[in-house]
Chain A
């Protein structure tokens, strides 16, 4: 195919990518974001499928059958837990404006610059070869497509790789370094990545469909013909007794499962660019479904390619070579564009993620040490630095690919990268579930893991590339056999990857846990541990682990240097307070962390404030205070709700009598011929309802006064016996009207009681009126009994009414809850008598109770101590 066509198609595709990104950015600016969607989020996660998937899987399948699958089954299993693990990571990152995996780990362990730097270095070591691999894959595809007899435009693969690297650097700079605050979303970029995921899926499936149904008569035919070849039959259906590399399979599963969370680009799209936590719910299954789809035709392509080109052919080019050989150059071009999109998506996101880390965690800390730089305007430098780092990273990738040349196969570089980032797992996952992890533990684990990774994986790869003496692999350094990189401490019989993972993870986890346990965490580590592990249990402002003095002006000025004056001023609290409260200091630091990373933000904030060193005791106190505050807030909310309920009940209760008064009055106004007797009856009802209304209003006011503590209480010696007699005689007419008999039992001598006689009379009258209401007409019997106890007086009012069912016994003391059902209840009650009585009795230190067996009447009673605690406080 003419090179000009391929070049034109590639540049047109990349231009379209710019278009998509610019369009999405414009939409976002207009407030109509395209990435606020779970499907776009799920597609963006598919940046996992790089050129390594696109070309490399077929290569792996051609030699090992289904051995390529764990790379995709691992992420599937990891995503099963995404709703639990990833959601926690997203919540933490959003709360603290964390912008990279290095920042995440450093922030967890007390915002350690050391840790941030180490994680960045490990990521860098893993990512540069990986980028080289993508560029190389594109260049390789180019070579296949243009063929040896190139016309006109003669470009070496290396030149192609350089062009791609430069275009991608331009794209990444244009859409990945728009804002200084990296915790802001890169709308255009994410939209472009999602679009790329569609392109590579469509292209790969198109080739798969063409090969399966175009070159063969469907999968049945293809598999049948493959089974006829013994070498291929082994790939499809291994014999039951064939040796199966279970260890290697499990290693790949674990490695891929961890990488899907820990690769810098995955962390970027999954955590940093996440718009809405709820999107994880769909992405958790849609992303594995994508992985399944893109792998459906891997084995068919591997089989078809081997059948077509013979067992010795380069299987990694089958995706392009098959359509080309079948005389379908257009399809081959589509396949190339698909591979290009797989490579570019990975390179762009990885470059942004790593450039953020390098800038914030390596370059900036070094620059802040230089006094001259720190006092100037470091904020203005950040974006240029990030851009230079991106270009530098692309250049490094290209250079590495050029130097490494054809020495290592595609798949092995990918796996070496996976193994590097897997070293983050203990510190990161341990850090969000275990509060005991410390900075030293994380550092020791990471450092040991990285060293062992380099020794057991990188050194062998370098040796095989001819950069190191092979004798190192065969005999160990200086002839020390126990240090042989591929059989460390004599451990042999494992494949290289499993051997490396075993040693590096054992050392990593062992040191992380061991060193963490050797020394208790410092206050700063412990506070960050609390914020991370318990992220779902509190809002950011509820726990502020900072004490000291800070001037608002200093904080705003610091922030303005990094996030702009406008956003900095927005932080300024209302009012003219000169000194900032701890929550404001924490907010400043969090905002700053979004721009420069948490470790540098900590240093910058510390440089403008005067802070106290917190100890573990302070920490415990802060946590206790926060918990207390939380409880109090909850109580206040509950009170607020009760008040609302009360108000709506009151209005409801007021409306009932008002409605009948109004209805009756209107009837009388409109009907001038109404009989006098009828009118008198109506007027009687109006008066009764008005009285009820008055009573209700009075009781509401009374209750409000008592509850608010504004009621006036007298405290004098009260003769409860005499008070009872007065109450019984006051209600005598009421009982007589119902034909009921009242019996009063009291001792001859009743000691005096310190209380307010008017209030007590109110309670007694209420209980008696209640009894009068519920006794059966004509045969009512009410017994009132006063008992003198050692330190208190008790009164009981027993009736022979229907009693109160057990389910209602607690309710009738609540406001507006009246006993009985609407039809059997005597009219005139307000539902406030008992609640008021109970509060009065309680005011005098007593209790009001109800004992009732349905069918045997109800017994209301109260007991009041003769001397109560409120006596002294109110004159």
Chain B
């Protein structure tokens, strides 16, 4: 259920993870276009999963 502070924390955590993955030293690991697009799609999928399975709050 996407309710209360826990759901908010998950979103913040996902955003922090995204910032980490798409920045700095880690980024050097997947500077190729294929890897970047794959990671991008994974981030969107995770976000969609978090948001869409949440009920109304």
Instruction: Spell out A's residues near B (CB within 8 Å).
Output: 65-66, 69-70, 73, 76-77, 79-81, 83-84, 236-238, 240, 244, 246, 249-250, 253, 278, 281-282, 284-286, 288-289, 292, 296, 299
Contact = CB atoms under 8 A, between A and B. Distances in A.
A242 to B, nearest CB: 9
Interface string B11-42: 11011001100111001100111001100110
A429 to B, nearest CB: 14
Closest 4 CB pairs of A and B: A285-B48, A80-B15, A285-B47, A77-B18
Contact of A292 (B7, B22, B23, B40): B40
Contact of B23 (A240, A250, A289): A250
Given A66-B33, A246-B23, A281-B54, A80 B28 contact: no
B11 A292 contact: no
Nearest to A288: B44
24 contacts: A66-B36, A70-B22, A73-B22, A76-B44, A77-B19, A80-B15, A80-B47, A84-B8, A236-B33, A237-B31, A240-B28, A244-B31, A246-B23, A249-B27, A253-B22, A281-B51, A281-B52, A282-B51, A284-B51, A285-B44, A288-B43, A289-B44, A292-B40, A292-B44
Contact of A253 (B23, B44, B51): B23
Contacts of A285: 44, 47-48, 51-52
A18 B47 CA distance: 35
Contacts of B28: 240, 244
Contacts of A66: 31, 33, 36
B4 interface: no
Of the listed residues B19, B32, B33, the one surrounded by the most CB atoms of chain A closer than 10 A to its CB is B33
Interface residues of B, number: 28
A76 B40 contact: yes
Given A288-B44, A292-B37, A237 B23 contact: no
Contact of B12 (A70, A84, A244, A292): A84
A278 B56 CA distance: 8
Contact of B47 (A73, A250, A284): A284
A622 to B, nearest CB: 28
Nearest to B8: A84
Interface of B: 7-8, 11-12, 14-15, 18-19, 22-24, 27-28, 31-33, 36-37, 40-41, 43-44, 47-48, 51-52, 54, 56
A676 B52 CA distance: 71
Q: Binding site of A, secondary structure by majority: helix, strand, loop or mixed?
A: helix
B37 A296 contact: yes
A299 B33 CA distance: 8
B31 A238 contact: yes
A244 B28 CA distance: 8
A214 to B, nearest CB: 21
B11 A80 contact: yes
Contacts of B37: 292, 296
Given A65-B33, A79-B47, A80-B43, 17 more contacts: A66-B33, A73-B22, A76-B18, A77-B15, A77-B18, A77-B22, A80-B14, A83-B7, A84-B11, A250-B23, A281-B51, A281-B52, A282-B51, A284-B51, A285-B44, A285-B52, A292-B37
Contacts of B43: 76, 80, 288
A246 B11 contact: no
B18 A80 contact: yes
Given A80-B11, A83-B11, A84-B8, A288 B47 contact: yes
Given A73-B40, A249-B23, A81 B31 contact: no
B21 to A, nearest CB: 10
A282 B47 CA distance: 10
Contact of B41 (A79, A250, A292): A292
A626 B12 CA distance: 32
Contacts of A250: 23-24
B43 to A, nearest CB: 6
Contacts of B36: 66, 69
A83 B54 CA distance: 11
B39 to A, nearest CB: 9
A296 B48 CA distance: 19
B23 A81 contact: no
A798 to B, nearest CB: 48
Nearest to A284: B51
Contacts of A246: 23-24, 27
A236 B32 contact: yes
A65 B27 CA distance: 14
A81 B11 CA distance: 6
A237 B33 CA distance: 8
A288 B33 CA distance: 17
Contacts of B40: 73, 76, 288, 292
Nearest to A73: B22
A237 B18 contact: no
Nearest to A278: B56
A84 B54 CA distance: 14
The CB with the most chain B CB atoms within 10 A, among A83, A278, A282, A286, is that of: A83
